[in-house]
Amino acid sequence: MSKLITFAIQASPPPRLDKALARDVPDDAHLSRSRLGKLIEGGAVSVDGTAITDPRFKVIEGAQIAVTLEAAEESHIGPENIPLDIIFEDADLIVVNKPAGMVVHPAPGTPSGTLVNALLHHCGDDLSGVGGMKRPGIVHRIDKETSGLLVVAKSDAAHHGLAAQFEKHTVERRYLAVCYGAPDSNDPRLRGIKGTSFEPGNILRVQTFLGRHRTDRQRQAVSFQDGRHAVTRVRILERFGQPVAAALVECWLETGRTHQIRVHMAHCGHALIGDPVYGGRRKLSEKALGVAGVRGAHDFSRQALHAATLGFVHPVTGADLAFEAEIPADLGGLLRDLRQNG
C-alpha cells in the first residue's frame, strides 16, 4: 500500500531538487538525501503536479511537492535460520552479539550465512522497510573475525536516526583487545611514532588518516596526507608476563573506519595477537609468559578483538541505551593462558 507525503518548498531553497527536498521534507518521513534521489529518478516525486525525474531540477520557493512511497519490497537476500545472540530488540531496532567468524552482510565471496541472512529469518514480517525494501538497516559493521555488539535498524526511522548518530560520532563503542607488548607512556619508542601521543591516565591517542593500501586492496594503511581522518584511544587494563610481553587493552573510537583499531595498534608496534593481516606471528618468551601463555597466543586463530560496549540514543524513543557483551569463550581462554605465569 502506497503512502503520499506532501509539503511545500521553503524560502531560499538549494538550487537542486534533491538538496531542496532533503532540507524541507518533514522529519517524520525519515527520508535521506540518497533515498530521495532514488525516488526522484524513479518518478515518485512531483513538483506542482508534474513528475520530475532529474535530481538537478531547479525548484523555487512555494513549490508543492508530492512524494509517493510504495510498500516495501521483499529483499533479494534469502532468510536463513541461523541462531542469534540477541541483547535487545523492539519494533525499531535490534542489538546482537555477533560471534567471530560471521560476516555481517552478503558479498560476492560470502553470499550466505551472514548476519543479514539470519536477521531476515528472525525478524520476518517485523521489518517495516529500510530504504524501500524489507531488510535490516546496517549502519555499522565489525570484521568477520571480530566478535561483539552491533545495532541494526528494523525501520526507516531507526535507520535514519542511527546513521545520523554514527555520522556525528556520538555512538559509544568500546572494544577489548589483546596486543603484543603494552602501549605505556613510559616507553620512549612510542613517543617517537608519528601520530601518537598520550593523554592523562596513561591513555594512548592515535590520530592519522586511513585509506586503502596502495598494493593490497584488502588492507588499510596509515597515511598523513590523504584518506579518512581516524582517532583511536587505548588504555591498558592488564599486563601479562615478566617482563611484559602482552596486554589486555580497552580501545575506543572517536571515528569508525575499516580495520581502524587493528591498523592503529600495528602502527604503534602493538599489533593484536592472532591478527593475520596486520599482526603476524611474533616470537614470545616462555620465560616471560610460560609455556601455556606462549602456546595460547600462538594458537589463537583470529584477531583478539571484541566489541564489548555499545551506547547510543534510541532514534525513536529518545532513551539512552547502553549494552555490554561478555568476553567470548575463545578470548577468555587466551586470557587464562596468559595469566598462568603470574
**Exposure of 66 in the CB half-sphere (CA atoms within 13 A):** 12
CA 210 to chain centroid, in Å, comes to 15
Local confidence pLDDT in tens for the 342 residues of the chain: 667 889 999 999 998 999 999 899 887 777 778 878 888 998 989 999 999 999 999 999 999 999 887 765 656 678 899 999 999 999 999 999 999 999 998 887 788 899 999 998 898 766 655 554 556 788 898 999 999 999 999 888 888 899 889 989 999 999 999 999 999 999 999 988 999 999 999 999 999 999 988 888 788 999 998 899 999 999 999 999 999 999 999 999 988 898 999 999 999 999 999 999 998 778 899 999 999 999 999 999 999 999 999 999 999 999 999 999 999 999 999 999 999 876
Confirm if 32 and 40 have CB atoms less than 8 A apart.
no
Whole-prediction pTM value? 0.80
In order of 235, 298, 309, the CA distances from 200 in angstroms are: 11, 33, 22
Enumerate the active-site residues.
Answer: 143
Confirm if 268 and 206 have CB atoms less than 8 A apart.
yes
| The three grid cell numbers given for residue 142, joined into one nine-digit string | 565489525
